[in-house]
């Protein structure tokens, strides 16, 4: 299987490990990712706050570049996007041009100055969508090497991979991550916070509100061993402010937060230079010990059976 790949800005910076672990996992699962050449920012949540036309032009520029590659390579591939905000911005273009007459022409009139044209030919898909619908879960199951037995794991989906477009999961009661958690031998932490909002950029512009939303999520994950995410914004909000939130609420709220492909990679026995858990901001000592114990049990088992 092959996909065009759009990492997006965060995955070059604060979410490096999401990029590297996605690439490693997809490779291990026999999938080729072809990065879109010369891609640029999707506009994030900033463009639509300033200019409507720009909020369409920015993601479309990258889509047009992917179509150009598709023509040159004579391959029609889906576009894989790991960041939920990028995914929605890219996906929204093809949705909105169908209901807004003249919008496509306007966008193309801007892109023309770079010699680009957008024809709405390629499908935009979230990483979780591709893992869920294109990858055979039995294939993952067969490759599990490190069982996460006795781990309770909270799947956190956030908003924009689920809403407003219900594509691969139920936007009110998401469950697409659960098969991967169970495949790794762990149990799914039961909670209703999976699809709730982390506050997105409130942490910068309205920190007092952002902290409230994050605190609600962390509180409800208290009895879990870790939270899994599929979005760099969610990841940063959940892992970056734990100390401050714990201090303010007089309650210890530290918990390990990993990206889904890091976790699946760990369970499949990929080395740390591929899962890049060295780059995460909060892997708790408790989690680390439990994981080391699982590894030790595994190597003991191998030695005994040898």
Both tokens assigned to 89: 């911005």
Taking the complex as a whole, the smallest distance from the CB of residue 115 to another protein amounts, in Å, to: 11
Q: Tell me whether residue 12 or residue 289 sits nearer to another protein (CB atom).
A: 12
Inter-residue contact 174 to 155 (CB < 8 Å): yes
Longest C-alpha distance within the chain, in Å? 70
- Rounded least distance, CB 99 to another protein, Å: 9
CB of 194 to another protein, least distance (A): 13
Q: How far is the CB of 227 from another protein (least distance, A)?
A: 17
Q: How far is the CB of 12 from another protein (least distance, A)?
A: 7
**What is the chain's percent helix, strand, coil content, to nearest 5?**
55, 10, 40
Q: Which helix (H) or strand (E) holds 159?
A: none
At its nearest, how many Å lie between another protein and the CB of residue 11? Answer: 10
Smaller CB separation from another protein, 113 or 306:
113
Smaller CB separation from another protein, 180 or 241: 241
DSSP category for residue 200: T
**DSSP calls for 4-60:** EE---SGGGTTTHHHHHHHHHHHHHTT-EEEEPTT-----TTTHHHH-HHHHHHHHH
Q: Are strands 187-188 and 152-155 parallel, antiparallel or unpaired?
A: parallel
Which one, 29 or 283, has the nearer CB to another protein? 283
Task: Summarize as ranges the residues that interact with another protein (CB under 8 A).
Answer: 9-10, 12-14, 16, 38, 40-41, 43-55, 57-58, 61, 106, 109-111, 113-114, 159-160, 163-164, 166, 171-172, 196-197, 199-202, 204-209, 212-213, 240-241, 243, 278-279, 281
Give the separation between CA 21 and CA 4, rounded to whole angstroms: 17
Using alpha carbons only, what angle is made at residue 261 by residues 258 and 266, rounded to the nearest 5 degrees? 75
SS3 163: coil
Q: Which of 174, 163, 4 is nearest to 95 (CA)?
A: 163
Q: How far is the CB of 259 from another protein (least distance, A)?
A: 13
Nearer to another protein, 85 or 127 (CB): 85
């Amino acid at each position: 299987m092959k996909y065009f790949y759009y990492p997006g800005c965060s995955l070059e910076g604060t979410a490096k490990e999401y990029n590297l672990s996605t690439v490693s996992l997809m490779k291990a699962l026999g999938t080729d990712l072809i990065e879109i050449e010369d891609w640029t920012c999707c506009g994030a949540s900033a463009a639509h706050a300033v200019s409507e036309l720009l909020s369409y032009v920015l993601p479309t520029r990258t889509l047009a570049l992917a179509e150009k590659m598709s023509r040159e390579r004579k391959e029609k591939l889906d576009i894989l996007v790991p960041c939920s905000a990028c995914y929605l911005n890219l996906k929204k273009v093809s949705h909105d041009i169908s209901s807004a007459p003249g919008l496509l022409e306007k966008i193309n009139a801007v892109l023309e100055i770079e010699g680009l044209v957008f024809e709405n030919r390629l499908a935009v898909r979230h990483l979780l969508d591709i893992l869920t619908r294109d990858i055979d879960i039995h294939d993952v199951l067969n490759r599990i090497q490190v069982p996460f037995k006795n781990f309770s794991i909270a799947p956190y989906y956030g908003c924009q991979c689920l809403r407003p477009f219900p594509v691969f999961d139920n936007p009110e009661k998401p469950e697409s991550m659960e098969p991967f958690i169970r495949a790794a031998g762990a149990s799914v932490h039961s909670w209703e916070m999976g699809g709730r909002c982390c506050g997105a950029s409130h942490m910068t512009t309205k920190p007092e509100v952002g902290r409230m939303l994050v605190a609600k999520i962390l509180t409800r994950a208290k009895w879990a061993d870790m939270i899994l995410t599929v979005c760099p914004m969610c990841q940063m909000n959940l892992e970056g402010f734990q100390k401050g939130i714990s201090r303010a609420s007089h309650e210890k709220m530290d918990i390990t937060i990993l990206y889904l492909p890091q976790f699946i990679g760990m369970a499949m026995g990929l080395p740390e230079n591929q899962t890049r858990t060295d780059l995460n901001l909060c892997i708790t000592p408790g989690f680390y010990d439990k994981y080391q114990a699982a590894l030790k049990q595994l190597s003991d088992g191998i030695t005994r059976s040898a």
